[in-house]
Amino acid sequence: MTYKMTALHPIEKRILYHLDKDDSLTIEALSQKSDLSIDQVRRGVERLKFKKLVLITQDSSIFFELDDRGKSALLKGLPERRLVIAIQLEPDKGIATVAKSQAFEKDELGAAIRIARDQNHWLFQASGDSKRANLRISQSISEPSAEEQVIERFRNVKRVSATELNDLEKKGMELLLRRPNYVKRIQEQIVTISMTTNGRSAAAEIDVLESHRGEFIRSEASAEDRPGTIAIDLHAAVKVAYPGKTHPLTDLIAEIKEIFVSMGFTEIEGNIIQTSFWNFDALFTLQDHPAREMHDTYYLSGLANVEEIATKEQITNVSKIHNKNSINAWDIRESNRLVLRTHTTPVTLKYLADNQPDEAKLFSVGTVFRNEKVTKGHLSEFFQIEGIATKPGASIRDLMGLQTEFYRKLGIQKVRFWPTFFPYTEPSLQSMVYIESIDKWLELFGMGIFRDEVALPMKIRNPVLAWGGGLERLAMLRLGVDDIRTLYSNKIEWLRSVPKCQL
């Protein structure tokens, strides 16, 4: 079975790579070879074990090290050896005198005599004499004792493993262990990692570069100074990927909604089909206003029920205002005609009329329709964004401030305001924004404060600041598109060319 390499973490790959070179390694050795920390190795090994790519064996191993007396015995010989040598040199002197010359420690002499005589048989009692003083040297002193052989093992090494000892040495070690301060017994847990067959086939696929990527990047040495390493060019072109993604306009709508929300606005929605009453009349667009003409508005066949258009009071109030301001009499039959909304402002007004908020910040993003020829710069169906803020005492300055902040959040810094005309606002302004990339000032959103002729019939008492305009013009600036139709043509090359995000 081959393991799916993509499922392995770079650390896991690096561990496998090093295990492949040595059959089995301890955690410590792996950490050293791979330049990973002990903790990284431990975690990586656990994951590899879970994936059945490595085996972990835990052994406890026993070591010995010389203690103080053991170390001096290595230099000067064990006390029993020193004793017999001294006796051999001066056989006629009594044992007490000999002992003095060797400067034995307090408990050492007794032990040395006992071991030399009873254990090693280096000394024996002359027949008929029970005095310690008359101990004689035997023939066998040339043979090193088991303890001596063990001590000798430490001549060049600090520690000796229990597994390295032969039978005689083992016996010697046991004897030495019984004597105080000669050897220390140390028990250690050793964790050894080795590969399973699956691990081996996984390791065969590992790309050295990949498993050591971090190492190369971290290295301060240049590629030439490190044989076997390859420098990685972080600016090299990468393979272009075309994953599925949301449409650029969808992204822009999401961004705009996010901006409104971040400024404390709440979204409202309304119908795409409106009555002329809300789309025009209530917004003080007189019934003979040119914008209502066939070439600007899509009228639907059929009429709305007069009772359903608005409350009686609202209809009466609006009709009075129109009759006062127009030479032609206001006609309900013009008001109940159905239209595809030409802007989103009727939605705003209806919301304020229905809810009568004392204070509110609202926004909407919705499709609007205008009976225009589709050209490079015009669409007959497009998105409009609209924001309104109302509170007692709100002024045109507040509106300009909100606008400036809104634009700033869109990345547009330079904004100018210009007087203009809308039937439903007074004053009315047009905002102009400076677009650096094309070095031009462009008209973007219309804005103003609802006129009394609009607010009062709906019993709205506080000033209503409103602004709105087409989303696609903003999209053109954002996406560097000079033909508005591109946004809807859905040409795959164009869609692919729009980056999803940019630094």
What residue ranges bind ligand PHE (CB under 6 A)?
A: 343, 345, 386, 422, 425, 446-448, 466-469
10 SS3 class: helix
Smaller CB distance to ligand PHE: residue 203 or 477?
477
CA distance 296 to 379: 12
Smaller CB distance to ligand PHE: residue 351 or 422?
422
Q: What is the 3-state secondary structure (H, E, C) of 416-445?
A: EEEECCECCEEEEEEEEEEEHHHCEEEEEE
Smaller CB distance to ligand PHE: residue 70 or 468?
468
**Tokens in use for 74?**
């290595």
CB of residue 445 to ligand PHE, shortest distance in Å: 7
Q: DSSP H helical segments within 212-265, as ranges?
A: 213-218, 248-262
CB of residue 233 to ligand PHE, shortest distance in Å: 51
CA distance 344 to 367: 8
CB of residue 366 to ligand PHE, shortest distance in Å: 12
CB of residue 386 to ligand PHE, shortest distance in Å: 6
Please tell me the total number of residues recorded for the chain in this structure. 503
CB of residue 371 to ligand PHE, shortest distance in Å: 14
145 SS3 class: coil
Residue of 104, 102, 105 lying closest to 87 (CA atoms)? 102
DSSP string, 442-476: EEEEEEEEE-HHHHGGGT--S-EEEEEEEHHHHHH
Smaller CB distance to ligand PHE: residue 146 or 447?
447
CB of residue 283 to ligand PHE, shortest distance in Å: 8
Smaller CB distance to ligand PHE: residue 16 or 282?
282
CA distances from 484 to 380, 385, 433, 494, 496 (A): 11, 17, 18, 13, 17
CB of residue 381 to ligand PHE, shortest distance in Å: 14
Smaller CB distance to ligand PHE: residue 199 or 469?
469
CA distance 273 to 252: 25
Cβ-proximal residues to 485 (8 Å cutoff; 6+ apart), any chain: 374, 376, 379
Smaller CB distance to ligand PHE: residue 203 or 268?
268
